[in-house]
Amino acid sequence: MLGSKNRFGNCPFWWIFFVTILNDNCLAHLLAPAILSTKLQLKSDTIEYVGFPQSALSGTEVEIRLQCADDSDLTFQVQYVIRSSPCDKEFFDASRHVQVKDLLNFYFEHEFEIPPGYDYTKILFYKSQPQQFSCRQSHGVILLREDEGLRRPLEIHNVKQATSKYSNILSPTTSHFVRNQQHIIGRRQQIEKRFKREFAGLNGDSLDGGTKATLSSWHPVQKLPADGIYFLVIKFTVIKSNSFKKTAEVPLVHNLTVDVQWRSPYGHLSAIDYPLLRFYAFMWLFYAMLAVI
């Protein structure tokens, strides 16, 4: 009996298990979900931001779906930004979670600047055109889609560190596009388009390209051109709400669900998780053998 206890106590599985449980940081980036959902409460004359960080592989497509809780008379405008960072700590560090929420406005508006404390010179950046939706006219799920002719690839931006104090960098600035720097990524996507169109049956440029857009359930808004850490920031601006149902004391709140999917050519695994796929399989077999022995 004593021998069995010693054997059980020396099993490496339990050492690894307890170390993993005690060290939250070691799992901070592993098995990051690629299908994310959050709920927003929109009020009259308000602007809300929501952010989704993700480590993504080259060719990953991003889909954004919205769903109103009811058919209320709510009209809102949606615009989103996708930007990259070479530092995963910038978006994923749990200790900066509250600060990142406060910096959503900065990440959205300041496309040529980075927050204080980081030092890099280039990012990939994309800002969509604003789109307007109505909950009453949507009758369920709202898909963010852009005309293929108007969609632009992510652009390479030269950035510099913001010199203002933290309390001042949240003020919005005018957004500009650097079209003369997009030819590198744009040419790469054009080559991929021509390559895909050589094969019969591929009617689109998405991962679901074998299906017509009217029949497909997959409608991405953007394709990421390189492996990296990305941050999706979505801005919601309330245009109109049924204000006659609210009072100054109890303002009417509209509930909205935001669903985001990051789908790579290899499924929904992130860029950090995918290289470890074989390691996960090996460790699963290893510990299964230990359990049987």
pLDDT band at 254; cut points 50, 70, 90: confident
Give the Cα separation of 268 and 265 in Å (integer).
8
pLDDT given at position 277: 76
pLDDT band at 97; cut points 50, 70, 90: low
Give the Cα separation of 111 and 91 in Å (integer).
16
pLDDT higher at 117 or 56: 56
pLDDT given at position 209: 62
Q: What is the DSSP string of 6-28?
A: HHHHT-HHHHHHHHHHH-GGGGS
Q: Is the pLDDT of residue 139 over 50?
A: yes
pLDDT given at position 46: 84
- Is-above-0.75 flag for pTM? no
* pLDDT digits 0-9 by tens, 163-209: 755 444 444 333 333 333 333 344 444 434 443 443 333 335 666 66
Picking from 53, 60, 57, the residue whose alpha carbon sits closest to that of residue 38 is 53
Give the Cα separation of 154 and 230 in Å (integer).
11
Q: Is the pLDDT of residue 226 over 80?
A: yes
pLDDT higher at 111 or 195: 111
Read off the pLDDT of each residue in 78-103 and give the average, rounded to a whole number. 80
Read off the pLDDT of each residue in 212-234 and give the average, rounded to a whole number. 83
Q: Is the pLDDT of residue 267 over 50?
A: yes
Instruction: Provide the percentage of residues in the chain whose pLDDT is more than 70.
Output: 63
Q: What phi and psi, each to the nearest 5 degrees, are found at residue 271?
A: -65, -25
Total count of residues recorded for the chain = 293
Domain coordinates in residue numbering, the chain:
31-292
173's tokens:
């600035």
> Lowest mean pLDDT: which of 194-198, 215-219, 228-232?
194-198
Read off the pLDDT of each residue in 224-239 and give the average, rounded to a whole number. 92
Q: Is the pLDDT of residue 81 over 80?
A: yes
138's tokens:
């949507």
pLDDT given at position 214: 60
pLDDT given at position 283: 87
pLDDT higher at 246 or 58: 58
* pLDDT digits 0-9 by tens, 9-41: 455 555 455 444 444 444 444 556 778 899 998
DSSP 271: T
pLDDT higher at 190 or 80: 80
Opening angle at CA 147, ends 207 and 182, nearest 5: 80
Q: What phi and psi, each to the nearest 5 degrees, are found at residue 292?
A: -80, -40
Give the Cα separation of 2 and 12 in Å (integer).
18
